[in-house]
Amino acid sequence: MKVATYYSLDDIRIEDKPKPKIGPDEILVEMKACGVCGSDLMEWYLRSRAPLVLGHEPAGVVAEAGKEVKNFRVGDRVFAHHHVACLKCHYCLRGDYTMCQQFGQTHIEPGGFAEYFRVPALNLQIDTLKLPSDLSYEEATLIEPVGCCIRAQNKCNIQAGDVVAVVGAGPSGIIHAMLAKTSGAAKTIVSDTVEFRLNAAKRLGASVAVNPQRENLVDKVKEATEGRGADVVIVTAPNLKAIEDGIQTCRRGGTLCLFAPTEPKEQARLSPHRLFFSEITIVPSYSTSHVETRLALQLISSGRIKAKELITHRFPLSQTAEAFKIAAHSKECLKVVVLNE
């Protein structure tokens, strides 16, 4: 079968690999669509593991099912989550599923950017979902990223009437703006330096769109909040400037969510004095679990999250390198999806 093997961001090769063999309690899925995630573009995050087949936002159709598989059969349309928790360790019993040791050790094989991938028994049992017949495979690629956003916002405890600011208007930033509205936010303020993304954010429901290269973000947020600042600030851009902007726009007693990592060597300077007297809560949020993916599927299926409108580019598997190039460098794209046609 054909796979797209990642050697570096500028070196992605279409190669031949054997089709994975499944066990009696596993399934083989023919990939139909797989999204390119922002983490797929972080070379510092992937360098030590290359070469490898990426792709953790896949949707497809069951091509083979092991003889012990009961709830899935050949022909079922599915989404499969690449990581699943054990559900019984110290972390899982406290709802911290993404901190579970098993979570990062479970993977689909070889990855979503392949003609076929194997879904291990644990992934199949815990977080493989059947797709409604009226939901496209392309839209289903948004289940994982929407799940990540749901988990972050649940941790932030957004209240009805809150003002939510989002720093970074990529696909995740716009999803956050959509979700905040479903949680009862009175106003969403989205910030980005790319006009294409700001226009998309406005079109998809953001109350205010700010380009910090032309306007002062802190001033715009305070103007929209009677001088207070945002109740919740979600930083989706993986850089220190975005984090600094997020802290400055957060109100006293507010919550700052770190939704994207910086490189390991980078260090942010924080004032414990200001944090103490302002009582700002900092909440990191990494990945998603079986809890949120089910809700993500419901929100996408119902149209409350407009997944199709987030997809701006589609490439066949044979052009995965070009898909990554566009996702990493284009200033006129949101979600990029790779298709196996």
Confidence at residue 283, expressed as pLDDT on a 0 to 100 scale: 97
Task: Please list the residue range(s) of the chain that carry CATH number 3.90.180.10.
Answer: 2-142+305-339
Q: Compute the average pLDDT of residues 63-79.
A: 97
**Contact in structure between 184 and 253 (CB atoms under 8 Å):** no
**163 DSSP β-pair partners:** 187
Q: Compute the average pLDDT of residues 51-76.
A: 98
Q: How far apart are CA 228 and CA 186, in angstroms?
A: 14
Amino acid at 48: S
CATH code for the structural domain at 2-142+305-339? 3.90.180.10
3-state SS, residue 340: coil
pLDDT at 3 > cutoff 90: yes
Query: What percent of the chain is modeled with pLDDT above 90?
Result: 98
pLDDT at 270 > cutoff 90: no
Q: Quick one: how many helices (H) and strands (E) in the chain?
A: 12, 16
Instruction: Categorize the per-residue pLDDT at 1 as very low, low, confident or very high, splitting at 50, 70 and 90.
Output: very high
Amino acid at 303: G
Confidence at residue 15, expressed as pLDDT on a 0 to 100 scale: 98
- 83-103 pLDDT tens trace: 999 999 999 999 999 999 999
Q: Average pLDDT of the chain?
A: 96
Q: How far apart are CA 68 and CA 142, in angstroms?
A: 30
- 312-322 pLDDT tens trace: 999 999 999 99
Instruction: Categorize the per-residue pLDDT at 268 as very low, low, confident or very high, splitting at 50, 70 and 90.
Output: confident
**Contact in structure between 67 and 53 (CB atoms under 8 Å):** no
Q: Is 328 exposed, middle or buried (0-12, 13-18, 19+ CB in 10 A)?
A: middle
Which residues make Cβ contacts (< 8 Å) with residue 3, sequence separation at least 6?
14, 15, 16, 17, 53, 110, 111, 113, 114, 115
Task: Please list the residue range(s) of the chain that carry CATH number 3.40.50.720.
Answer: 147-284
pLDDT at 269 > cutoff 90: no
In words, the CATH class of domain 147-284 is: alpha beta
Confidence at residue 288, expressed as pLDDT on a 0 to 100 scale: 98
Instruction: Categorize the per-residue pLDDT at 12 as very low, low, confident or very high, splitting at 50, 70 and 90.
Output: very high
